[in-house]
């Protein structure tokens, strides 16, 4: 009986609490309705039938740098193209050949003959490429040629009417760290995107497609993402100063470190590709070896590039350069070591190739050579560069 009375009291207390809660809710609803309304409640009683859009505040003129950036993009975008590639693959079971999407990239119109410049890695391994221009039309592209050592490829499209204007050409040898740059491309397939930044550094190096490094690259903090490759890097005058070629990012997206092939290299390499289908490096007719040079230089405690041998009748032979000597015991004795070209230091084989690549066949360069047959005396030797074929 005692237990039953206890439960009856609990039930009675619960009923009283419910009644009090209902009374409190009714009181608040009639006298303080805002207390019970949530942020998403329907406040239909306070709606106004005369609500109008707010008056737009006049903006005023765009800033001068904004206007110049807009004009640069509008003047340049038609010269930039979107490139998609496809690759032929074979079904392992049926042996049938299929064409599948391979990748995307950017490029730009080079001249009035329909030549399009892009990166070599954009079209590497592709069996076909399609170029889309800003009016939305697609054109099948043919491969004119490429220089993997510079990550440059030349395509060609045939457009009958309304050809986009070529990108104006600038220079890269006078670039300064800190000057503004503008990149136009198609990152992630998002067509005709503009990013801006500055020249962050000059004379950077990255591994190239033929095992040699690509030197003299422009480093920029303008956002460069997958799909930007092959697009133009422009200066504030809208002139081409480089080809966006790579980013440095563990995640594969822009981390504020991008690289571009300088336009001076482009303007030297592309005409040869168009006329010959490939780039012919200037050469001297000497034999050098990167790995062997490092071992010998470390052993001999010297800095420079050791000439291993001279091709008979070559430019180096005519200039009187001397190759290394092999002793009866098989040891290599250095004779001539190249330490500079036109006053610019050379401390590796890659740097030697890079220095020479700034010239063309027929140019005469002045080598600073340390001749160990003359107790390491330094001499200057003029050499007229020959074809590297």
Q: How many helices (H) and strands (E) would you count in the chain?
A: 8, 23
Q: How far is CA 26 from the centre of its chain?
A: 69
Do the bridges between strand 232-234 and strand 240-247 make them parallel or antiparallel, or are there none, so unpaired?
antiparallel
Answer whether 213's CB lies under 8 Å from 267's CB. Answer: no
> Choosing from 151, 221, 350, 357, which is the catalytic residue?
151
> Choosing from 79, 229, 254, 354, which is the catalytic residue?
229
Tokens of 48: 């106004």
> Choosing from 79, 121, 172, 357, which is the catalytic residue?
121
What is the 8-class DSSP label of residue 226?
A: T
Catalytic, 289? Answer no
Q: What are phi and psi of 184, to 5 degrees?
A: -120, 130
Q: Which of 276, 285, 291, 288 is nearest to 311 (CA)?
A: 285
Q: What are phi and psi of 8, to 5 degrees?
A: -65, -40
Return d(Cα 70, Cα 294) in angstroms, integer.
50
Catalytic, 78? Answer no
Give the position of tokens 């790579």: 246
135 Rama class: left (phi>0) / alpha (psi -120 to 50) / beta:
alpha
Catalytic, 150? Answer no
The interaxial angle of helices 290-300 and 349-356, nearest 10 deg, is: 120
Return d(Cα 157, Cα 136) in angstroms, integer.
14
Which residues touch 252 (CB under 8 Å, ≥6 apart)? Answer: 226
Q: What are phi and psi of 178, to 5 degrees?
A: 110, -15
Return d(Cα 356, Cα 216) in angstroms, integer.
12
Tokens of 197: 């930044």
- Residues annotated catalytic, as ranges: 121, 151, 229
């Amino acid at each position: 009986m005692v237990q039953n009375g206890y439960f009856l009291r609990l039930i009675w207390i619960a009923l009283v609490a419910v009644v009090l809660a209902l009374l409190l809710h009714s009181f608040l609803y009639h006298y303080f309705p805002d207390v019970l309304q949530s942020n998403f409640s329907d406040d239909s009683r306070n709606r106004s039938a005369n609500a109008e859009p707010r008056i737009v505040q006049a903006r005023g003129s765009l800033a001068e740098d904004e206007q110049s950036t807009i004009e640069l993009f509008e003047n340049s975008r038609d010269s930039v193209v979107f490139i998609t590639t496809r690759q032929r693959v074979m079904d392992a079971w049926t042996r049938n050949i299929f064409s599948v999407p391979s990748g995307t990239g950017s490029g730009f119109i080079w001249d009035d003959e329909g030549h399009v410049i892009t990166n070599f890695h954009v079209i590497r391994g592709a069996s076909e490429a399609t170029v889309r221009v800003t009016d939305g039309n697609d054109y099948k592209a043919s491969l004119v040629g490429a220089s993997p050592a510079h990550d440059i490829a030349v395509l060609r499209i045939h457009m009958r009417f309304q050809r986009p204007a070529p990108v104006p050409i600038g220079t890269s040898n006078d670039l300064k760290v800190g000057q503004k740059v503008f990149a136009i491309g198609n990152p992630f397939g998002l067509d005709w995107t503009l990013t801006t930044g500055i020249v962050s550094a000059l004379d950077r190096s990255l591994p190239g497609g033929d095992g040699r490094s690509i030197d003299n690259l422009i480093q920029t903090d303008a956002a460069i993402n997958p799909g930007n490759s092959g697009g133009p890097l422009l200066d504030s005058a809208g002139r081409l100063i480089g080809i966006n070629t790579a980013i440095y990012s563990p995640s594969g997206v822009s981390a504020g470190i991008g690289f571009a092939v300088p336009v001076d290299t482009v303007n030297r390499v592309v005409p040869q590709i168009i006329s010959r289908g490939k780039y012919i490096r200037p050469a001297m007719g000497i034999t050098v070896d990167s790995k062997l040079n490092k071992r010998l230089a470390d052993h001999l405690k010297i800095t420079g590039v050791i000439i291993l041998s001279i091709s008979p009748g070559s430019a180096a032979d005519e200039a009187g350069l001397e190759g290394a000597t092999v002793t009866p015991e098989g040891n290599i004795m250095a004779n001539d070591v190249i330490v500079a070209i036109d006053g610019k230091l050379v401390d590796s084989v890659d740097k030697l190739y890079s220095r020479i690549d700034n010239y063309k066949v027929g140019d005469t360069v002045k080598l600073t050579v340390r001749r160990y047959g003359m107790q390491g005396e330094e001499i200057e030797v003029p050499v007229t560069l020959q074809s590297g074929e």
